[in-house]
Amino acid sequence: MSDGYLANVLNLVKARLNRLAADASLDEYFRARIGGAWDELAANGIALDETSSADMMLLVDFVVWQYGNRDKAEAIPAWLHERRKNRWLSNPFGGMTGGGICG
């Protein structure tokens, strides 16, 4: 993930959480959450495209949901689960070909 992309995602996460853009008190924490969410999506076969605004918003929504539910045992909401599933179905296995049980 490029630095510019990370900065854009960070600003959108802060906006969704009603945090001032100038408030950098949790920026390192949010950056770690963003990186972790990026890695989690990739591990589940979703290779995000940095040029796609839909992929950016999926990452933002996923991070915001994770942040808001970090101390809860609630399942992912249906709307976010559907978006994640549909994104995976649009490019299963992150574009990998060959090998595995499907290849």
51-80: pLDDT as tens digits: 999 999 999 999 999 998 887 878 888 999
List, in sequence order, the alpha helices (H) in the chain.
Answer: 3-16, 27-43, 53-68, 78-90
Q: Are 36 and 88 in contact (CB under 8 A)?
A: no
**How far is residue 75's CA from residue 102's CA, in Å, rounded to a whole number?**
28
Mean pLDDT of 30-57: 93
pLDDT at residue 94, rounded to an integer: 53
Q: What is the mean pLDDT of residues 11-32?
A: 93
Would you say residue 20 has pLDDT above 70?
yes
d(CA 15, CA 54): 17
Structural Rg of the chain based on CA atoms? 14
- Give which of 98, 14, 102, 4 is closest to 51, Cα–Cα: 4
pLDDT in tens, 82-91: 999 989 988 7
How would you class 1 by CB atoms within 10 Å of its CB: exposed for 0-12, middle for 13-18, buried for 19 or more? Answer: middle
Q: What mean pLDDT value characterizes the chain?
A: 86
| pLDDT of res. 69 | 85
